[in-house]
Structure 1
Amino acid sequence: MSPMETGLIGIGALFVLMVLRTPVAFAMLITGYFGMLVLEGSRAAGAVMLTESYSTVSNYNLIVVPMFILLGNIASAAGFSRGLYDAAFAWVGRFRGGLASSSVLGCAIFSAVSGSSVATAITIGKVALPEMKRLGYQDALSTGSIAAGGTLGFLIPPSTGFVLYAILTEQSIGRLFMAGILPGLLLMAAFIGTIALIATINPEAGPRGARVPLGQKFRVLVQSAPLIGIISISIGGIYAGVFTPVEASAIGAGLVLLLAFAMRQLSWNGFCRAILETVRTSAMLYMVVIGANVLNPFLAVTHIPETLGNAMVGLGLGPYGTLAIIILAYVVLGMFLDGLSMLVVTIPIIYPVILQMGFDPIWFGVVAVIVIEMGMITPPVGLNVFVVKGVAQDVPMTTVFKGVMPFLLAMIVSLLLIIIFPQIATLLPDLMFS
């Protein structure tokens, strides 16, 4: 059996394992190890398993993962997310659909703390959905805005998606973080614009909130200022070149921990739960990276990425025709796989093709993350849809999927703008690292 045939069987086995609900990390470990065992023997397979596992857990850059996760968990446990939401509502809640818009704005700000779409959707959803129900918002708009707003956690730095992409492609985490800022703001604006359009066409979908006096607006903003300040120090420090991403993550986690204890908003039990959740999530992400690094040598030996790149070039579709096929493949995979699974399984195969087509790898990281975000609200999997459904248990699943469709269209339009004008993604990293 040729290496190519073995590789195709291995990829097929990988997807079968995931369909059978084997955790993606272990599915990749099994496929990579036994693939190398068949092609190179037990000594090479064992060496890959040991060296890749050690190099992953000793990778200095991966420290950003547990640090930013800890930052988000502490902020959530201390109730800071409520302050972010209240501040957003105080300023935009008076407009039609303002409560939904403030939910999206709250998601965007909390994304700069958590780096996780699921954590963002759960945290803001628990605060915002009861309020929107109380004010008579239609279920489709309220749940759809939370599910879509939560996806910003995968794009706005510190994004775990960008960290994994950087590790898998050996790109700069700092450049990727900077590349996600403007696209993240673009998506946020597109979501708020979508809410305004829906509320204008159907005022009953998103009634106006109560008017908040100007003085109270500033009081609420001041109350949320410490957390916003920590976000600004962490992300702004990276942009200014004062901190590396690793240093920024540690400083952000340390400051939010000190803030939570100083304000007496974090109990000992809450602190322990945040630490435990951080360990669980970090261990899962570390295992995913180890699995991907064990799978990559197997794919390299089979020459599948190289063959796929040559085949796409041979089709004569040009760079953007090839990009369209890749995006379409991501959309299809997004209907069945979660975001992290898509990223770690596809990047080793797709990345050489992207380089061969002459695309900027930083720009493509943004494109890939946005397409993966689309998969988070696309049926039948739509991870964020299931997360929001778990919070709003009385809302039918079909209603939630119906609610995310306008936001999915907004994401498609935003993605097209980033493809047409790549400077949206590359401007900040080019300015920072020039």
Structure 2
Amino acid sequence: MSPEIYGILGFAALFMFLAIGVPVAVSLLIVGFVGTIFLSGFQAAAFTLSGQAFATVTVYQLTIIPLFILMGNLASTAGLSRDLFEAAHKIVGHLRGGLAAATIVGCAGFAALSGSSIASAITMGKVAYPEMKRFNYGARLATGSIAAGGTLGILIPPSTGFVIYAVLTEESIGRLFMAGVIPGLLLTTMFLIAIAIVTFIWPSEGPRGPNFTMREKIRSLFRATGIAIIILITIGGIYTGFFTPVEAAGVGAFFALIMLILRGKCTFKNLYHVSAETLKTTGMAFFILVGANVFAPFVALSHLPTTIAGTVTGFELGTYGTLAIILFGYIILGMFIEGLSLLVITLPIVFPLVTGMGFDPIWLGVVMVIVLEMGLISPPVGVNVFIVKSVVPDVKIETIFAGIMPFWLAMIATLALIVVFPQIALLLPNAMYN
């Protein structure tokens, strides 16, 4: 059989393993190892397995993953996410749809600490939904804003998605972080516009909340300064060049720990929970990366990237037509496969294809992350939707899916803007690194 046939069989086996519930990392390892045996022999496969495992876990830049995960867990335990939501609630809660808008703002702020969509959805779901329910918000808008807001976790830096993309493509983590800032703010704004439109058409979905005094607003803003300081130190330090991304992650984790101590929540129970969650999430991320780095050489040996690139080019769709086909494929696959897993599975093929057409690899990272975000809330298997369902079991799953549709359309609009105007993503990284 030709190498291409082995490659196709490898992908078929991979998706079969995922369909029967085999963990992504294990599936990647098995297919990559066995496929390399068929294409290059057992010795080459064994060398790839051992060498890539060691090379992955010893990459200095990857220390950013456990540090940012630790920072997010410390901040969540310290109650910083609740503080941000409360501040936004008191400032805009009196407006129509104000609590939903506060949820989006809270998710955006927490995303700048956790780098995780799932963590953002869980945390803000527990904080925001009881408040929206208390003020008689419609279930669609309440749950939709939580599920959609949670997706900001892999776009607004620090983003685990950007770190994994950077490692697999050998791009700069710092450039990718900077590239995510303006698109993240743009998507947040588009979500707020979506809320305004929904509540204008259906006022009962987001009734006005109570007015708060100026003193109460200032007090809530003061309590939210903790999260603002950490974001300013980490992202501002990276932008000014004062910190590398890894150093910024360490400093951010340290200040999050200080906040935990100052708020009297530095107990053994909390520290144990934070450490356990950090280790579990870090272990999962590194295991997937090891699997991806074993799977990628098999894909290269199969010559599938070259073959697919030649086939797609032969359709003569043009660069943007080809890009549209690829992004549409990601949206469809994202309905069934978790975003980061989909990234590590497909990147060995998609990255050389798209960059070979002349697209900027940093811009591509932002575009791919947004498309993966769309998958997180797309039916029938939007991961964030089921996360929100676990937090609010009294709401039907179809109600949540109906609630995310305005936000899904906002994502489409944001994606179109970034494709048409690439400088939205490239302005900050080019200004910082050129």
Counterpart residue number, 1:283: 283
Counterpart residue number, 1:392: 392
Q: TM-score, normalised by structure 2?
A: 0.99
Alpha-carbon offset, residue 383 of structure 1: 0.3
| Secondary structure of the corresponding residue to residue 426 of structure 1 | helix
Q: Is the 8 A contact 2:144 2:404 kept in 1?
A: yes
Structure 1 gap segments, 5+ residues each: none
Q: 1:287 is matched by which residue type in structure 2?
A: F
CA distance in 2, matches of 1:174, 1:326: 26
Report which stretch shifted further, 384-393 or 78-87. 78-87
Question: Does the alignment pair 1:316 with 2:316?
Answer: yes
Q: Is the 8 A contact 2:78 2:263 kept in 1?
A: no
Counterpart residue number, 2:50: 50
CA distance in 1, matches of 2:330, 2:263: 44
| Secondary structure of the corresponding residue to residue 224 of structure 2 | helix
CA distance in 1, matches of 2:215, 2:62: 43
Counterpart residue number, 1:179: 179
Q: 1:231 is matched by which residue type in structure 2?
A: I
Q: Is the 8 A contact 1:179 1:363 kept in 2?
A: yes
Per-residue CA deviation, residues 280-329 of structure 1 (Å, 9 max, x unaligned), is 00000001100000001101111101111121122111110110010011
Counterpart residue number, 1:377: 377
Counterpart residue number, 2:150: 150
Q: Is the 8 A contact 1:155 1:180 kept in 2?
A: yes
Alpha-carbon offset, residue 262 of structure 1: 2.4
Question: Does the alignment pair 1:294 with 2:297?
Answer: no
Question: Does the alignment pair 1:328 with 2:328?
Answer: yes
Per-residue CA deviation, residues 108-133 of structure 1 (Å, 9 max, x unaligned), is 00000000000000001101000100
Alpha-carbon offset, residue 228 of structure 1: 1.1
CA distance in 1, matches of 2:200, 2:325: 36
Task: Report the aligned-residue RMSD.
Answer: 0.7
Counterpart residue number, 1:102: 102
Q: 2:224 is matched by which residue type in structure 1?
A: S
Alpha-carbon offset, residue 101 of structure 1: 0.3
CA distance in 2, matches of 1:196, 1:94: 13
Question: Does the alignment pair 1:131 with 2:131?
Answer: yes
Counterpart residue number, 2:121: 121
CA distance in 1, matches of 2:85, 2:401: 24
Question: Does the alignment pair 1:239 with 2:239?
Answer: yes
CA distance in 1, matches of 2:240, 2:386: 38
Q: Is the 8 A contact 1:199 1:205 kept in 2?
A: yes
Identity of aligned residues (%): 52
Q: Is the 8 A contact 2:80 2:226 kept in 1?
A: no
Q: Is the 8 A contact 2:114 2:120 kept in 1?
A: yes
**Where in structure 2 are the equivalents of 1:180-329 lying within 5 Å?**
180-329=180-329
Counterpart residue number, 2:82: 82
Q: 1:408 is matched by which residue type in structure 2?
A: W
CA distance in 1, matches of 2:54, 2:341: 21
Structure 1 stretches of 4+ moved >4 Å: none
Q: 1:401 is matched by which residue type in structure 2?
A: F
Report which stretch shifted further, 327-336 or 260-269. 260-269
CA distance in 1, matches of 2:283, 2:271: 18
Per-residue CA deviation, residues 217-238 of structure 1 (Å, 9 max, x unaligned), is 1111111102210111001100
Q: TM-score, normalised by structure 1?
A: 0.99
CA distance in 1, matches of 2:241, 2:91: 32
Per-residue CA deviation, residues 50-88 of structure 1 (Å, 9 max, x unaligned), is 000000000001011000000011111122211111011
Q: Is the 8 A contact 1:77 1:271 kept in 2?
A: no
Alpha-carbon offset, residue 255 of structure 1: 1.1
| Secondary structure of the corresponding residue to residue 243 of structure 1 | coil
Structure 2 gap segments, 5+ residues each: none
Counterpart residue number, 1:2: 2
CA distance in 1, matches of 2:137, 2:155: 27
Total equivalences in the alignment: 434
Q: 2:236 is matched by which residue type in structure 1?
A: G
Q: Is the 8 A contact 2:75 2:259 kept in 1?
A: no
